[in-house]
Structure 1
Amino acid sequence: MTEADTPTEGNGAQPETPKVNMRILAQYMRDMSFENVAAQKKLQGANVQPDIQVQVSLDAQKREAENQYDVATKFKITSKNKSDDQVLFMIELDYVGVFMVEGVPQEQLHPFLLIECPRMIFPFARRIISDVTRDGGFPPLNLDTVDFLALYRQEVQRQAAAQAAAGKTAPMPN
């Protein structure tokens, strides 16, 4: 490629792409609940085989400060006994990171907040869940890594389907 083929600005320099700058300003548990149903119902014995269901949802909100966002990762985990479908324990964790994000184009900000930011705080939420299950009398639950990109895509598809369904059932204007 010759210099003439290279896109340049008026001064002959390469155009700069904005530099992305992201920092975690704070992390906290907004809400957490652990219910040890097995202990309440006095379930025990060798016939306990847990079947664990994990649901993850995401949310991002703009803060009043410039370029700052709250990104919440919400986990709902239910462990049931495979043999009789009895609930062993339930965990609900709403874990929030406060992020400063600069240099991300506006059209890419939403996916950035709901993919990259949860990736950064996930190990901390995983540790809390592991510690809570262990302290609750169960083996530590070490969650598999969450594919936040796939989760984001599923949510976008779900919203598009909901909008399409709402559009089909909406009355036609006169």
Structure 2
Amino acid sequence: MAEANGGDLPHLDALAQYVKDLSFENPNAPRSLGPQETAPNIAIQVNVNAKPLQDGNFEVELMFEGTAGEGENILFRFDLNYAGVFHLSNIPQQHVHQVLMIECPRMMFPFARAVLANAVRDGGFPPFLLQPIDFAALYQARVNELAQQGAPANS
């Protein structure tokens, strides 16, 4: 009966999602909270890591590091490591890495985005809403980069 209901179909379950580490700095407060003459330069770096746990479970980390402003005019800085535990079943081995690096972060992104928006708002600024991220494009860019370096794609 399980096979008739798709028991052998590939399946991805999110078992847990959580903030693993969060840092927000407002180094120039209260001066930084006043009106600004120009919009701040915002720089963001995004990374994804995955590691196996046990019994088909994996921990996936979605990491954001960013700043608003430059030099002595930094408005705020943040670091967020948002993680999840996922269970993969019936996924062909050659696709596991793609699922972990594309689908899992895609599922986690809205929640991590909300954590960042709230942290920035709680720091005294308007909520900071990250634009959606194309994790498939990031993955493909990384695969291409590794191919040019002669490294395997699942590094």
Give the corresponding residue for 2:45: 55
Q: Give deviations 1:68-108, integer Å, cap 9, x for gaps.
A: 00010000111116xx8721111100000100111110011
Q: Secondary structure at the match of 2:81?
A: strand
Q: Normalising to structure 2: TM-score of the pair?
A: 0.85
Give the corresponding residue for 2:102: 115
Which runs of structure 2 are paired with 1:90-101 in the superposition (5 Å)? 90-101=77-88
Q: Give deviations 1:107-155, integer Å, cap 9, x for gaps.
A: 1100111000111111110000000000100110011101000111121
Q: Secondary structure at the match of 1:50?
A: coil
Q: Secondary structure at the match of 1:37?
A: coil
Which runs of structure 2 are paired with 1:18-37 in the superposition (5 Å)? 18-37=8-27
Give the corresponding residue for 2:117: 130
In the alignment of these two chains, the number of paired residues is 145
* Matches of 1:108 and 1:46, distance apart in 2: 47
Give the corresponding residue for 1:105: 92
Pair 19,147 (structure 1): closer, same or farther in 2 beyond 3 Å: same
Q: Normalising to structure 1: TM-score of the pair?
A: 0.76
What is the letter of the counterpart of residue 140 of structure 2?
R
What is the letter of the counterpart of residue 92 of structure 1?
D
Give the corresponding residue for 2:56: 67
What is the letter of the counterpart of residue 70 of structure 1?
E
* Matches of 1:85 and 1:146, distance apart in 2: 29
Say what the alpha-carbon RMSD is for the aligned residues. 2.1
Q: Secondary structure at the match of 1:38?
A: coil
* Matches of 2:37 and 2:16, distance apart in 1: 43
Does structure 1 residue 45 correspond to structure 2 residue 45?
no
Instruction: Name structure 1 gaps, 5 residues minimum.
Output: 1-15, 165-174
Structure 1 stretch displaced more, 30-39 or 121-130: 30-39
- Give the number of the structure with larger relative contact order, counting CA–CA contacts within 8 Å between residues 6 or more apart: 2
- Structure of larger gyration radius: 1
